[in-house]
Amino acid sequence: MEDAFIEGLPKVELHLHIEGSLEPELMFALAQRNKIKIPFKSVEEVRKAYNFSNLQDFLDIYYQGMNVLQKEQDYYDLTMAYLERVARQNVVHTEIFFDPQGHTERGVKFETVVNGITRALEDGEKKFGISSKLIMSFLRHLSEADALKTLDEALPYKDKIFAVGLDSSEKGHPPSKFTKVFAKAKKEGFKIVAHAGEEGPPEYVWEALDTINVNRVDHGNRSLEDDKLVKRLVKDEIPLTVCPLSNLKLCVVKDMKKHPLKKMLDLGLKATINSDDPAYFGGYMNENFKAVSDALGLSKKDLETVTKNSIEASFLDRKGKDALLKKLDDYMKKAANDPAPSQAAKHKPGKKA
Ligand code: ADE
Ligand code: ZN
């Protein structure tokens, strides 16, 4: 697939950890601003450390990286830097995770984190025309009691937080460990998502569906090991937020040519393409689309399907989804007639704030 087609495609991101968009340059700037010591001498040294053999290897560095985030303005700058990047990549809607416990356990107030991120999301919508939803994730290596405490802290921010999720070290921490907290979150009106089947077995995906009642599964790669589970995901149209470069960097797949995305689409699964932790895994949305598309030989039709899946899987209302489906349809029509569609159909930023 030509790069120009991917670059111009109006894209929707559904799996992005805002802390995972912390580029080494900003990490150094914030460390200096907040007088925090970091165990690296240069940006190059940081990038060299980004070599992971599994999820835990990455998480150790990811939690260390977020130590530089202290003040509301830091969270604003982090989020605005992400939005500036993806505005240039024609991302039109994004649903962003944050890990409050990674901050509150260091003494940063919940409100500092939420206010900084949401102020940037509001400014980003005015500046770039990118709409967004915020998803609060519980750290699964911590207790359910800790998650319940965090949910209580989120209740006054229901107007800012749309959904709750589950992330961090998967193996040994199944969704069923969090049955009570997700039941409460659902009762409070939050949508539910969970990382499942990234490293963990298909049973964890079953639990995500039947024990915590997810609206989407984050990753879900290992679902393919269980035919019954695949049938269930297809029947209930449960979206999977797949992250190709993350899968490669964390050795969930050995080779991009062996990535299961095409197989998922062929099976009728509602697979989508996302970046996960772009500062750590080598790329944002366009890089993920290009890497998986080159390796698997995806067609324009495949990428249209993936983008349609993302729009339908988003937490936008019907009107919002229809507007994006129309934008995608217009782009596909242009792409059929125009040899270089990306320039003509580039997403036009809104008025500068
Ligand atoms: N936190 C940030 N990125 C993650 C991932 N890929 N899996 C689980 N937890 C995460
Ligand atoms: Zn993730």
Query: Which atom of ligand 1 is found nearest the CA of 137?
Result: 1
Distance in Å, CA 215 to ligand 1 centroid: 18
Distance in Å, CA 110 to ligand 2 centroid: 21
Catalytic sites, residue numbers:
198
Pocket test for ligand 1, best of 168, 243, 280 (most atoms within 8 A of CB): 168
Ligand 1 shell residues, CB under 6 Å: 17, 20, 55, 62, 167-168, 195, 198, 246, 276-277
Closest CA to 198 of 168, 222, 176: 222
Give the ligand whose atoms come closest to the C-alpha of residue 218: 2
Query: Which atom of ligand 1 is found nearest the CA of 62?
Result: 2
At 340 the three-state DSSP class reads coil
Cβ atoms 244, 198 nearer than 8 A: no
Q: What is the mean pLDDT of each run of 10 residues along the chain (353 residues)?
A: 94 99 97 95 93 97 97 98 98 98 98 98 98 99 98 98 98 98 98 98 98 98 98 98 98 98 98 98 98 98 98 98 98 85 47 36
Q: What is the pLDDT of residue 339?
A: 59
Query: Which atom of ligand 1 is found nearest the CA of 168?
Result: 9
Give the ligand whose atoms come closest to the C-alpha of residue 168: 1
What lies within 8 Å, CB to CB, of 48 at 6+ separation is none
**Joined tokens for residue 245:** 């470069």
Q: Tell me the Ramachandran region of residue 276: left when phi exceeds 0, alpha when psi lies from -120 to 50, beta otherwise.
A: left
Q: What is the pLDDT of residue 337?
A: 86
Distance in Å, CA 330 to ligand 1 centroid: 34
Q: Strand pairing of 91-98 and 131-139?
A: parallel
Query: Which atom of ligand 1 is found nearest the CA of 17?
Result: 2
Residues 69 and 30: their CA atoms lie apart, in Å, by 7
Residues 237 and 64: their CA atoms lie apart, in Å, by 37
Quick one: angle between helices 285-296 and 300-313, nearest 10? Answer: 140
Q: Tell me the Ramachandran region of residue 34: left when phi exceeds 0, alpha when psi lies from -120 to 50, beta otherwise.
A: alpha
Distance in Å, CA 342 to ligand 1 centroid: 31
Tell me the CATH architecture of domain 3-314. Answer: Alpha-Beta Barrel (3.20)
Residues 53 and 70: their CA atoms lie apart, in Å, by 29
Strand order in the sheet with 131-139: 11-17, 91-98, 131-139, 163-167, 191-196, 216-219, 239-242, 270-273
Q: What is the DSSP string of 241-302?
A: EE-HHHHHHTTSSS-GGG-THHHHHHTT-EEEE--BSHHHHT--HHHHHHHHHHHHT--HHH
Pocket test for ligand 1, best of 167, 205, 217 (most atoms within 8 A of CB): 167
Distance in Å, CA 315 to ligand 1 centroid: 20
Pocket test for ligand 1, best of 19, 50, 58, 62 (most atoms within 8 A of CB): 58
Q: What is the pLDDT of residue 340?
A: 53
Closest CA to 244 of 203, 298, 204: 298
Residues 323 and 84: their CA atoms lie apart, in Å, by 22
Q: What is the pLDDT of residue 108?
A: 98
Kindly report the protein residue whose alpha carbon is nearest to atom 8 of ligand 1. Answer: 168
Give the ligand whose atoms come closest to the C-alpha of residue 61: 1
Cβ atoms 251, 228 nearer than 8 A: no
Q: What is the pLDDT of residue 22?
A: 98
What residue spans define the domains of the chain? 3-314
